[in-house]
Amino acid sequence: MFLHQIFFYLTVAFLPTQLGLHFWPDWTLVLGRRIDYLSPTIFLTDITMVITFILWVCYPHNKGRRILPKILLKTYFYWLVALLYILFNIMYSPSPPVVLIRWIKVIELVLFGYYIVKAKPSLHITTIYISISMTYSSLLGIAQFVFQHSLGGVFWYIGERSFTITTPGIARVNWCWFTNSHCEELLRPYSTFPHPNVFAGFLGITICLLLWQILSHAVKQKHLNIWYIITICVSSIALAFTLSRGVWLISLMGMLTIFGITRKKTVMNTFTWICIASVLCITMAFPYYLSLFKFSESVLIRNELTQAAIEMWKSYPLIGIGFNAFLIQLPTVLPSRYQFFLQPPHSIYILTLTELGTLGTGIVIYCLFQLVNRLRELPDKLPLVILCIYGVLGLIDHYPMTVQQGQLLTTLILTLGFFTK
């Protein structure tokens, strides 16, 4: 195994961690408060990604290094248009430093994705490292739920934050044990993630990935199959403890889809099973989720954030307000009673349209369309199915775009079709 491959697999193993060095210049403050989404941060996984790419570029027999200049030369017009768009997106934003930092992050992730496309890591080995990351993050999350506080100690070095159930702003839920007369407030586990919903999304996607590997008989070693089954069981318990109801539903849809299409892997069967699983899950869960929408304050706040995003897009319809500038602009359009809730809209599609405008969103849609066409031609439908599941997750939360673990997971999913067996 080459050195750049070792650092790639370390990046995968460290994906759940959020250990990083934060910087807090004045432009990271909104209404006098520090906002994590705006802080320039050097994460552990940033370091491993950069080292991976540098080692690969410096590798003597690297063909991708020789191909890159040719690609840039042939497509220079498209790169020029993209560069001009990025410059306008930065210059006309309410906070150019915030937008510039986010575009630098995008360049880092694009280079990491280019590495995957050209180096073609082994999906078999990658899945092993993903299962390791699932196991340690799940065990930590289960322990946090059982003890109702963070564990501290050595876990700080992989990004666990210190909190208890009484910490202001911590994610809690009122849980009723079989009857409304016996309810108690429970802490939702974070593991090493910034929020239980991000933790749940990671587990939901990776459980589906391991389940596919088992049902499609991609794993030949019996002991590895047993390890994957144990990992899925432990991760499912942690997923249940996150009490992230939206991810529960989407994960169930994904698992039912995988059960259905592992027998016949045609595109039509894939689409059919996705539709059947979606209708079945939504029908079963509809009465419960309807009650949540009627009485949940968080749903009302999310609606306000969505309305604020639409108003921002109307002001900058072509190039957007600037990548990652939503929170900078939010106090100018959000009602004062909700200004304590400084978060992006809980949909990557609305957030993309607001921050990148119609032009940027059109470019993203075109790239996704090309990717989906390529994935449809692959004999193995795993990358297409995982992309669809992840796309549905993007309907209900913003972390695939806004937090380090989500951005890295997004990069892996978009390039999943380029891994070797």
Distance separating alpha carbons of residues 97 and 103, to the nearest angstrom? 10
Contact between 324 and 98 (Cβ < 8 Å): yes
Distance separating alpha carbons of residues 298 and 289, to the nearest angstrom? 13
Q: Which residues of 161-187 are buried (b: 16+ CB within 10 A; e: fewer)?
A: eebeeeeeebbbeeeeeeeeeeeeebb
Give the model's pLDDT for residue 209: 94
Q: Which amino acid is at 409?
A: L
Distance separating alpha carbons of residues 162 and 159, to the nearest angstrom? 10
pLDDT of residue 8 exceeding 80, the answer is: yes
Q: Which residues contact 40 (CB under 8 A, 6 or more apart)?
A: 22, 23, 25, 28, 101
SS3 39: coil
Q: How far from the centroid of its chain's Cα atoms is residue 361's Cα?
A: 18
Average pLDDT of the residues of the chain: 86
Reference 36, options 404, 335, 420; nearest CA is: 404
Q: Which residue has the higher pLDDT, 20 or 173?
A: 20
Q: Which amino acid is at 333?
A: V
What is the pLDDT averaged over residues 146-173?
Answer: 88
Give the model's pLDDT for residue 148: 92
Q: Which residue has the higher pLDDT, 338 or 9?
A: 9
pLDDT of residue 329 exceeding 70, the answer is: yes
* 238-265 per-position pLDDT tens digit: 999 998 888 888 888 888 888 877 766 5
Distance separating alpha carbons of residues 25 and 246, to the nearest angstrom? 35
* 261-319 per-position pLDDT tens digit: 776 655 555 556 666 665 665 555 555 445 444 445 566 777 888 888 999 999 889 99
Contact between 402 and 344 (Cβ < 8 Å): yes
Distance separating alpha carbons of residues 185 and 28, to the nearest angstrom? 33
Contact between 83 and 76 (Cβ < 8 Å): no
Please give the angle made by the CA atoms of 103, 71 and 101, to the nearest 5 degrees. Answer: 5
Q: Is the pTM of this model over 0.75?
A: yes
